[in-house]
Amino acid sequence: MGLDDLVDKGKAAMNSEHGEQASDKGIAGAGDAFDSMSGGRFAEHTDRVQEHVDGAVGQGDQQARQEQQQ
C-alpha cells in the first residue's frame, strides 16, 4: 500500500458521516481548549475559525461547494 492509497482512504473516511462527526468533535475540542487557555478573550474569532475549518474539512466542504454552484 502506497502513500496515495493512504491519502485516498483518509479522504474517504473524512467524507463519511462518521468522519464528519469526528472532525466536528476535534474542531470543537481544539476551539474549546484555545478558549480555555486564552480566558475566552478571543472567543468570537475562535468561533469564526472553527466554522471556516469545518467548512474546509469533510462533508461541510462538499456542502459548501454545492451551495455555491446553485
pLDDT in tens, 2-23: 888 888 887 777 777 888 888 8
Q: Taking 70 as the threshold, does the pLDDT of residue 67 lie above it? A: no
What's the mean per-residue pLDDT of the chain? 82
The dihedral built from the CA positions of residue 62, 64, 68 and 70, taken in this order, carries a sign that is positive
Q: How many domains would you assign to the chain? A: 1
- H-state helical runs in 1-70: 3-14, 17-37, 43-56, 59-69
Domain containing 8: what range?
3-68
Helix (H, G, I), strand (E, B) or coil at 70: coil
